[in-house]
Chain A
Amino acid sequence: MYIAAPKVSDRRFQREYVIPMSNDKVADVVVVGAGICGSLLATRLARAGRSVLLLESGPRKGRGELVQNYRESAFKSDYMAPYPYSEMAPHPRFSPTPNDYLEQAGPHAYQAQYIRMLGGTSWHWAAQMWRYVPNDFRTQSLYGVGVDWPISYDDLEDYYYQVEVITGVGGEPDNGSPRTKPFPMERVPASYLQQRVTERLAPEYRVIDDATARNSRSYGGRPACCGNNNCMPICPIDAQYHGGIAAQEAEAEGVEIVTEAVVYRLEHDIQGRISAVHYYDWDKVSHKVTAQTVVLAANAIETPKLLLMSTSDRFENGIANARDNVGRNLCDHPAVGVSFDVDEPVWPGRGPVSPCSIGDFRDGEFRAEHAPFRLDISNGSKVASVTKELLAEGYHGRALEEQVRFRSARRLALKNAMEQLPDPNNRVTLSATRDALGLPTPRMYWDIGAYERRGAEATRAHYTRIAEMLGGTNVKHSKEGAFSNRQHITGTLSMGNDPATSVTDAWGRAHDHENLFMVGTGVMPTVGTCNVTLTAAALALRTADRILEETQHG
Chain B
Amino acid sequence: MVNFTRRRVIQIAGGFALTGVAGRWLAVPEAFAGQNGVPAEEVDDFLAVSRKLIMRDELDGNLANALVHASKLALDSFTEQLTRLKALLAEQPALLDGEQLDFGAAFAAEEALARNVLSGWYTGVVGSGDQAIYVTHINALSNQVVADKLVPTSFSYGPCGSWHRAP
Contacts from A to B (Cβ < 8 Å): 67-68, 70-76, 96-97, 188-192, 195, 215-217, 224-230, 234, 236-237, 345, 347, 349-351, 381, 383-384, 387-388, 391, 393-401, 404-405, 408-409
Contacts and interface: CB of A to CB of B under 8 A. Distances in A.
B149 to A, nearest CB: 5
Contacts of A388: 123
22 contacts: A68-B14, A70-B154, A71-B17, A74-B133, A190-B164, A192-B167, A224-B160, A225-B160, A227-B158, A227-B160, A227-B162, A228-B151, A347-B149, A350-B167, A383-B146, A383-B150, A391-B119, A396-B96, A400-B118, A404-B142, A404-B145, A409-B146
List 3 tightest A-B contacts by C-beta distance, closest first.
A227-B157, A189-B161, A350-B163
Contact of A408 (B99, B146, B161): B146
Interface string B119-130: 100110101011
Most buried by B among A190, A400, A405: A400
A394 B141 CA distance: 16
A405 B162 contact: no
B53 A350 contact: no
A42 to B, nearest CB: 30
B55 A398 contact: yes
**Would you call the interface of chain A mostly helix, strand, loop, or mixed?**
loop
B129 A226 contact: no
A349 B153 contact: yes
B134 interface: yes
Given A192-B164, A224-B160, 9 more contacts: A72-B11, A74-B125, A228-B157, A350-B149, A350-B167, A387-B122, A387-B123, A397-B53, A401-B145
Contact of B54 (A67, A76, A229, A397): A397
B155 A228 contact: yes
B104 interface: no
Contact of B150 (A74, A76, A216, A350): A350
A396 B118 contact: yes
B99 A217 contact: no
Interface of B: 10-11, 13-14, 17, 53-55, 96, 99-102, 114-115, 118-119, 122-123, 125, 127, 129-130, 132-134, 137, 141-143, 145-146, 149-151, 153-167
Contacts of B119: 391
Contacts of B130: 96-97
A394 B167 contact: no
Contact of B142 (A226, A384, A399): A384
Contacts of A189: 160-161, 163-164
A228 B55 contact: no
Contacts of B161: 188-189, 216
A405 B146 contact: yes
A192 B165 contact: yes
A72 B10 contact: yes
Contacts of A391: 115, 118-119, 122-123
Contacts of B54: 396-397, 400
Contact of A347 (B10, B11, B102, B150): B150
A200 to B, nearest CB: 14
B80 to A, nearest CB: 22
Nearest to A408: B146
